[in-house]
Structure 1
Amino acid sequence: MSLANELRIRQLYEAVNAKDLAAIEGYGADFSEWLDVPFDMTSRGARAIIDPWKSWFDIFPDATCEVRSLVALGDHVVAQGIGRGTHLGTFHSPAGVIEPTGARMQVNFCDVYRLRDGKIERADSYFDFFGLLRQLVPTNAVAA
């Protein structure tokens, strides 16, 4: 099971990098949950997986994820890496609305998945929001 789940999540990141929304949507189910940890926001249901990715692509249309490590144990998979993109869309963030800056960004992430029957049952997505914010907002506007 671990090997199949590892492959499934590798394929998810391939779909993310290809902006294959149909493939990403296929990871969701009625029982799916996605937690954006920096935002303390949980999405639930069949669109719980596609909606966060779609929102990210709306903000960073050229977004990519470089997976640096991926480990599977039973029904859990942990992926760690670097997300990159160009800020071309309005970002409704916990720090407020950030209008497009055209800035290139690079952010560390760690996603923890629990799978059931090839679908994502739960995803906890951790990323360095403060580091991202510092790249998108002028330095003097973000307190150190």
Structure 2
Amino acid sequence: MKLTSRKSITAATAVAVLGGLSIAAAPTQAAGPVHSGATVHAGAAADGGLTARDLARLPLTDRHLTAHEKANLAVVLRAYHAAEGKSLDVDTFVGSFAEDGVFNDMVAGKAYRGSTLGDVLPYMANLFPDVHRDLKRITVHGDVISIELSIQGTFEGPLESPAGTVKPTGAKVDVPTADFWYLHDGKVEKFNCYPGYSTMYAQMGVDFDWASAVDHH
């Protein structure tokens, strides 16, 4: 894959607000194990870019990033921060996307664009008011950023289902997820999210009725 020119975007074009965003500790080598638990606080440089300290504490698979890649990473980290329960900011999240940008929930088979781009954030925050993304491994390659993470939170809001409303139980969820961000000119053109819904529902106490499905067929 050809890398986009590092002159296209400077780090000053993006704002990375990392306050309270928990990430995995930085791996010692690209293919080495990653241990979660480190926390990056508001450490953005005055010009809005990522500082060397910020980068050192991120779980990057390759630390040799161009200025263009650092700027792209800052955009994505800002979007994650805006999606946190403690710092929910729908406008900032939507503003990270290009005018024709799309957010694809690849598991549910739903696409959000335009005025619907911010719909997922309030929905998740209603289910899990303390929703949080634990970033475990980040790979930056030009305009593409791939992230292994966990979506964490406490089931404190009602879940509407085809069978009725599932009442909150206070259960903790830790959902394995893979995110793929595609950017152009400092904006997200496409965000493909692969959340582990089967794990999430099981942790929430929702068991799918396989027996009725077998009987139906």
Question: Shorter-chain TM-score: what band?
Answer: 0.7 to 0.9
Task: State the Cα distance separating 1:93 from its structure 2 match.
Answer: 5.8
Indicate whether 1:4 and 2:71 are aligned: yes
Distance 2:78 2:69 in 1: 14
Q: 1:96 to 1:40 in 2, by over 3 A?
A: farther
Q: Which runs of 5+ in 1 are unaligned?
A: none
Q: Which runs of 5+ in 2 are unaligned?
A: 1-67, 211-217
1:15 equivalent in structure 2: 82
77, 96, 100: which one aligns with 2:168: 100
Q: Is the 8 A contact 1:81 1:109 kept in 2?
A: yes
Distance 2:112 2:163 in 1: 19
Equivalent position SS for 1:56: helix
Q: Is the 8 A contact 1:61 1:85 kept in 2?
A: yes
Q: Is the 8 A contact 1:28 1:47 kept in 2?
A: no
Equivalent position SS for 1:32: strand
More helix by share: 1
1:26 equivalent in structure 2: 95
1:120 equivalent in structure 2: 188
Q: Where do 4+ consecutive residues of structure 1 move more than 3 Å?
A: 92-99
Task: State the Cα distance separating 1:28 from its structure 2 match.
Answer: 3.0
Q: Is the 8 A contact 1:134 1:142 kept in 2?
A: no
Task: Report how many residues are paired.
Answer: 142
Task: State the Cα distance separating 1:102 from its structure 2 match.
Answer: 2.0
TM-score, normalisation: structure 2: 0.58
Which letter maps to 2:90? L
Task: State the Cα distance separating 1:20 from its structure 2 match.
Answer: 2.7
Moved more, 106-115 or 1-10: 1-10
Task: State the Cα distance separating 1:22 from its structure 2 match.
Answer: 3.0
Task: State the Cα distance separating 1:11 from its structure 2 match.
Answer: 2.0
Q: Is the 8 A contact 1:28 1:45 kept in 2?
A: no
Which letter maps to 1:110? A
Distance 1:142 1:103 in 2: 20
1:59 equivalent in structure 2: 127
Q: Is the 8 A contact 1:29 1:46 kept in 2?
A: no
Q: Which has the higher contact order (CA 8 A, sep 6+)?
A: 1
1:35 equivalent in structure 2: 104
TM-score, normalisation: structure 1: 0.83
